[in-house]
């Protein structure tokens, strides 16, 4: 991101940018003092909101683990090791790391999509929602893509009077994706939200 | 960090002001972390709790966020503003990230169905009606209040908010930014 953050500073402070936007903002912040100051004001505003909510005392029995890494001497070795590890292996800033898990999940999704794009495949839409399954003609892999998903959806294979749970598609942004390297030829897939069936696809081999 | 820097300076034995705390925090002096947690621990825990809705998760969240700040060499620069605001946003973002993750989502769903185990005293009062934030939000125009509520309480992205409210993305960004600044001013937020 080369442009200044502007209104995005408020969204960043609220934690509601998607991971790609957040990462771009973080990269920009590293080199822009003006935007860091803009963000400082937005952070102060969000903190004022947090402070205006009900304030709760941390449970006494669990206070120590929070304090210990930064307060008590017994954790000096742990802290030294963590700091050395961070300096040697994790040069990226805190805010990048905060979104790392989400970035990694998205990267895995993209890698799966790249493999799929390079292979011959078929595609069938699910009835009932904006979703489709891409699959190898030999039934060696399946990739379920769901758009506009707001909650995790279970992918189920109904067969022989039973249902086999294959996995869960978890939304990242507004897309949920599940890659299944299965060897079975599954002629039907169902999407479930909790115990409710929300989509169905008939596959042809 | 030198061994000497770990000790709190004698001149600050009383109570370091915000500027002194920020400078020491940026320099990774350990006493500054102690001081920051002593001052802001309750706010940080409460911030995490309001997102995650569970004492154990909130404690984990604060712990992990502080540990990351500690071990990341350039995590805090003086130009990032007050330590209090920086840490609060770090903890809140950590909490939102956790809330969005698959495992946490499942656990939270289970907890919604379960009887509350912690902070039972809150069940006796209507927190929504008693917190200052809700009262301040009511002073905003509806066009600013609603997107800000969806962002702050529901953790929806600006794209999701624009879709839900059927407004252009640019309009939503502007309303959130403007609403946040007005609310911050109303609640007495400094920088």
Cα separation, B62 vs B90, in Å, equals 9
A14, burial (CB in 10 Å: exposed 0-12, middle 13-18, buried 19+): buried
Length of chain B: 191
Cβ-defined contact of A94 to B72 (cutoff 8 Å):
yes
For B21-38, b where at least 16 C-beta lie within 10 A, e where not — what string? Answer: bbebbbebbbbbbbbbbe
The band of B151, judged by pLDDT with boundaries at 50, 70 and 90, is very high
Name which of A28-32, A101-105, B57-61, B155-159 the model is least confident about.
A101-105
Q: How far is A14 from chain B (nearest CA, A)?
A: 7
Name which of A85-89, B88-92, B185-189 the model is least confident about.
A85-89
Nearest to A51 by CA among B18, B127, B188, B97: B188
Q: Is pLDDT larger for residue B72 or for residue B171?
A: B171
Would you state the pLDDT for residue B14? 59
Whether A35 and chain B come into contact, CB under 8 Å, resolves to: no
Chain A environment of B72 (Cβ under 8 Å): 86, 90, 92-94, 97
Cβ-defined contact of A44 to B59 (cutoff 8 Å):
no
Residue of B131, B155, B184 with shortest CB distance to A44: B184
Task: Flag whether pLDDT at B116 surpasses 50.
Answer: no
Would you state the pLDDT for residue A119? 67
Task: Flag whether pLDDT at B119 surpasses 50.
Answer: no
Would you state the torsion angle of the CA atoms of residues B80, B82, B83, B86, taken in this order, to the nearest 10 degrees? -50
Nearest to B86 by CA among B95, B94, B76, B96: B76
Q: What is the mean pLDDT of residues B173-180?
A: 96
Cβ-defined contact of B66 to A101 (cutoff 8 Å):
no
Cβ-defined contact of A152 to B105 (cutoff 8 Å):
yes
Q: What is the mean pLDDT of residues B56-84?
A: 83
Please check whether residue A25 is in contact with residue A12, taking contact to mean a CB–CB distance below 8 angstroms.
Answer: yes
Task: Count the neighbouring beta carbons within 10 Å of the beta carbon of residue A198.
Answer: 19
Would you state the pLDDT for residue B56? 86
Show the tokens assigned to A11: 């969204």
Cα separation, B183 vs B145, in Å, equals 9
Q: Is pLDDT larger for residue B142 or for residue B112?
A: B142
Count of CB pairs separated by less than 8 Å, A with B? 243
Give the pLDDT of chain A (205 residues) as one tens digit per residue: 568 899 999 999 999 988 888 888 888 888 888 999 899 999 999 999 999 988 888 876 444 333 343 333 334 444 444 444 444 444 444 444 444 445 445 555 555 665 566 667 888 899 888 888 888 888 888 888 888 878 888 898 888 888 888 888 888 767 788 888 766 788 899 999 877 889 999 998 8
Cβ-defined contact of B63 to A17 (cutoff 8 Å):
no
Looking up tokens 């090791």, which residue turns up? A81
Cβ-defined contact of A7 to B102 (cutoff 8 Å):
no
For A18-38, b where at least 16 C-beta lie within 10 A, e where not — what string? Answer: bbebbbbbbebbeebeebbeb
SS3 of residue A152 by DSSP = coil
Helix, strand, coil share (%) of chain A residues, nearest 5? 45, 25, 30
Please check whether residue A154 is in contact with residue A114, taking contact to mean a CB–CB distance below 8 angstroms.
Answer: no
Would you state the pLDDT for residue A175? 76
Cα separation, B71 vs B64, in Å, equals 11
Length of chain A: 205
Task: Flag whether pLDDT at B169 surpasses 60.
Answer: yes
Cβ-defined contact of B82 to A52 (cutoff 8 Å):
no
This model of the complex carries an ipTM of: 0.80
Share of chain B above pLDDT 70, in %: 75
Cα separation, A183 vs A205, in Å, equals 13
Would you state the pLDDT for residue B148? 95
Would you state the pLDDT for residue B177? 96
Would you state the pLDDT for residue B107? 53
Would you state the pLDDT for residue B33? 83
The band of B72, judged by pLDDT with boundaries at 50, 70 and 90, is confident
Task: Count the neighbouring beta carbons within 10 Å of the beta carbon of residue B157.
Answer: 21
Q: What is the mean pLDDT of residues B92-100?
A: 88
Would you state the pLDDT for residue B114? 56
Q: How far is B99 from chain A (nearest CA, A)?
A: 12
Average per-residue pLDDT in chain B?
Answer: 79
Would you state the pLDDT for residue B150? 93
């Amino acid at each position: 991101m080369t442009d200044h953050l502007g209104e995005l500073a408020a969204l960043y402070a609220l934690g509601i940018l998607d991971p790609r936007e957040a990462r771009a903002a973080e990269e920009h912040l590293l080199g822009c003092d003006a935007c860091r100051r803009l963000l400082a004001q937005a952070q102060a505003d969000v903190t004022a909101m947090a402070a205006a909510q009900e304030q709760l005392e941390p449970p006494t029995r669990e206070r120590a683990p929070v304090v210990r890494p930064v307060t008590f001497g017994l954790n000096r070795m742990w802290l030294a090791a963590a700091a050395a590890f961070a300096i040697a292996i994790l040069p990226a800033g805190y805010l990048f790391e905060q979104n790392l898990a989400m970035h990694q999940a998205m990267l895995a999704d993209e890698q799966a999509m790249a493999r799929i794009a390079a292979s011959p495949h078929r595609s069938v839409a699910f009835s009932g929602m904006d979703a489709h399954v891409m699959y190898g003609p030999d039934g060696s892999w399946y990739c379920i893509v769901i758009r506009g998903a707001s909650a995790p959806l279970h992918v189920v294979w109904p067969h022989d009077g039973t249902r086999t749970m294959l996995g869960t598609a978890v939304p990242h942004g507004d897309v949920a994706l599940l890659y299944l390297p299965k060897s079975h030829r599954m002629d039907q897939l169902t999407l479930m939200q909790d115990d409710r069936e929300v989509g169905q696809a008939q596959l042809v081999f | 960090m030198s061994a000497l820097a770990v000790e709190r300076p004698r001149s600050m034995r009383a109570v370091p002001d915000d500027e002194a705390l920020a400078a020491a925090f940026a320099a990774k002096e350990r006493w500054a972390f102690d001081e920051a947690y002593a001052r802001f621990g309750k706010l940080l825990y409460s911030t995490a709790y309001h997102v995650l809705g569970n004492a154990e998760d909130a404690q984990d969240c604060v712990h992990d966020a502080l540990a990351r700040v500690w071990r990341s060499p350039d995590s805090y620069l003086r130009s990032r503003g007050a330590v209090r605001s920086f840490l609060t946003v770090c903890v809140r973002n950590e909490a939102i990230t956790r809330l969005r993750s698959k495992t946490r989502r499942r656990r939270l769903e289970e907890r919604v169905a379960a009887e509350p185990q912690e902070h039972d005293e809150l069940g006796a009062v209507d927190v929504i009606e008693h917190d200052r934030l809700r009262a301040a939000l009511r002073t905003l125009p509806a066009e600013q209040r609603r997107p800000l509520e969806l962002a702050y309480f529901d953790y929806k992205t600006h794209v999701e908010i624009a879709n839900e409210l059927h407004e252009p993305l640019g309009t939503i960004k502007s309303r959130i930014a403007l609403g946040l600044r007005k609310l911050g001013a109303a609640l007495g937020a400094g920088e």
